[in-house]
Amino acid sequence: MSNKIITINGNEYAFTEGETILAVARRNGIDIPTLCHLSGATPTGACRVCMVEVEKARTLMAACALPASDGMVVKTESPKVVKSRRMTVELLLASGEHDCVVCPGAGECRLQELAMRYGVAGKKFPKTKSRYGLEDVNPMIVRDFSRCILCGRCVQACNEIQVNRAISFGYRGKKSKIVAGEDMALKDSECVFCGQCIEACPTAALMEKGARVKIRPWEGKKVRTTCPYCGVGCQMWLHVKDDKIVKVTAVKDGSPNKGRLCVKGRFGFGFIHSPERLKTPLIRKDDGGFREASWDEALDLVASKFREIIAKDGPDAIAGVSCARSINEDSYAMQKLFRAVLGTNNIDHCART
């Protein structure tokens, strides 16, 4: 930290060269509301929600984009600032469908939060109907353009965080729209369905198709866990309702994935609740089929067969393969079973793939 000082709301704070007003404020627990700002991406200054009053500046300034400078004096909630934020929110509410009562995103919407925080009802201006409707022709992501406020966070998530370069701003002026490729359906575009855009979207314009109407933000429980697929080991939240996982989101700032997931991590949980899951032990019948059995019967059979084979052919006539997908404790227990109980080192797993 240098000895340069910025004054925010009457208090002095040190900062490092290049830090934005927003960064200094956040570091010191001062809440400047933002909408378009996405951490880890370059600030675009698109939404004007983070405007603050800077002494000697002629206009309000975007805290997310403006670097702090020595001797700067900033007010984050002055009457002028509040007035501007109200106006910004009014205008956003007037463009498109922002009908919180029936919105699947209600309760988890930055726009709704801002409206509440600044007491904005969205009645000041006549509503302009949105030009674009809903796209749900892919199995994973629903794009509801009528709720899109064109903040551009999804575009940044796609281009700067995940760097998949599938979506961008298309058209101009009143026709502006977030487009995939040359404005095609996501499933026909370069999109790889990592869903980072959903995570970035501050409203309900982008949502997981499966979860959209299944769970409200305040329902169910959230369980932190580690992704079961590749060796990156992303940290994720399972959103669970009535003992069913209904959606998965990334743990913000968690290591190693820093709030990112891929398509398998985010959308690859349905198998857990498949009706095809094995539910009871099975034993092979003489006619070749399986019959259901109790744990006692199945495990007694396994133990007695193992005993019989060890007696006849020795412990090395038994071999086992552990699972590289399952938890450590399972692999440990299996090798212990083979070594300490059965008496063989014939235990392996697909370590090399």
- Which residue lies nearer to ligand SF4 by CB, 154 or 251? 251
Residue 335 burial (CB count, 10 A):
16
List phi, psi (to 5°) of 171. Answer: 60, -175
Is 230 one of the binding residues for ligand SF4 (CB under 6 A)?
yes
206 vs 195: CA distance, rounded Å: 9
Is 238 one of the binding residues for ligand SF4 (CB under 6 A)?
no
Whether 62 contacts 45, CB under 8 Å:
yes
Q: Which stretch binds another protein (CB under 8 A): 71-79, 82-90, 122-130, 237-245?
A: 237-245
Is 265 one of the binding residues for ligand SF4 (CB under 6 A)?
yes
Cβ of residue 272: shortest distance to ligand SF4, in angstroms?
15
Using CB under 8 A as the binding rule, the residues of this chain from 28 to 57 that contact another protein are none
Is 259 one of the binding residues for ligand SF4 (CB under 6 A)?
no
Hey, what amino acid is at 4?
K
- Which residue lies nearer to ligand SF4 by CB, 267 or 338? 267
Residue 111 burial (CB count, 10 A):
26
Is 229 one of the binding residues for ligand SF4 (CB under 6 A)?
yes
Binding mask 197-236 for another protein (x = CB under 8 A): ------------xx----------x-xxxxxxxxxxxxx-
Cβ of residue 157: shortest distance to ligand FES, in angstroms?
15
Q: In what order do the strands lie in the sheet with 61-62?
A: 11-14, 5-8, 73-75, 51-54, 61-62
144 vs 188: CA distance, rounded Å: 17
Is 152 one of the binding residues for another protein (CB under 8 A)?
no
The b-or-e profile of 157-191 (16+ CB within 10 A means b, else e) is bbbebbebebbeeeeeeeeebbbbbeeeebeebeb
Contact pick of 30, 60, 72, 234 for ligand SF4 (by CB under 6 A) = 234
List phi, psi (to 5°) of 51. Answer: -55, 135
Contact pick of 15, 132, 145, 193 for another protein (by CB under 8 A) = 193
Hey, what amino acid is at 267?
F
- Which residue lies nearer to ligand SF4 by CB, 105 or 265? 265
Quick one: what does residue 306 bind among ligand SF4, another protein, ligand FES, none, with the CB cut-off 5 to 8 Å set by partner type? another protein
Quick one: what does residue 333 bind among ligand SF4, ligand FES, another protein, none, with the CB cut-off 5 to 8 Å set by partner type? another protein
Instruction: Give the Å distances, CA to CA, from 283 to 245, 262, 274, 277, 300.
Output: 31, 39, 22, 16, 12
Is 337 one of the binding residues for another protein (CB under 8 A)?
yes
Residue 110's H or E segment, with its range, is helix 110-117
Query: Taken in order 155, 218, 141, 204, is the CA torsion positive or negative?
Result: negative
Quick one: what does residue 49 bind among ligand FES, ligand SF4, another protein, none, with the CB cut-off 5 to 8 Å set by partner type? ligand FES
Name the one residue in this structure whose structure tokens are 């064109």: 150
What does DSSP say about strands 51-54 and 61-62: parallel, antiparallel, or unpaired? antiparallel
- Tokens representing residue 244 in the block: 């069913």
184 vs 166: CA distance, rounded Å: 10
Is 168 one of the binding residues for another protein (CB under 8 A)?
no
Return the closest-CA partner of residue 215 out of 254, 248, 186, 193.
248
Judged by CB under 8 A, the number of residues near another protein is 110
- Which residue lies nearer to another protein by CB, 134 or 341? 341
Contact pick of 35, 191, 215, 238 for ligand FES (by CB under 6 A) = 35
Q: Which stretch binds ligand FES (CB under 6 A): 39-47, 68-76, 116-124, 227-235?
A: 39-47
Using CB under 8 A as the binding rule, the residues of this chain from 289 to 318 that contact another protein are 290, 295, 298-303, 305-307, 309, 313, 315-318
Hey, what amino acid is at 256?
P
Cβ of residue 29: shortest distance to another protein, in angstroms?
21
Using CB under 6 A as the binding rule, the residues of this chain from 107 to 136 that contact ligand FES are none
Is 272 one of the binding residues for ligand SF4 (CB under 6 A)?
no
List contacts with ligand SF4 (CB under 6 A).
Answer: 227, 229-230, 232-234, 257, 261-262, 264-265
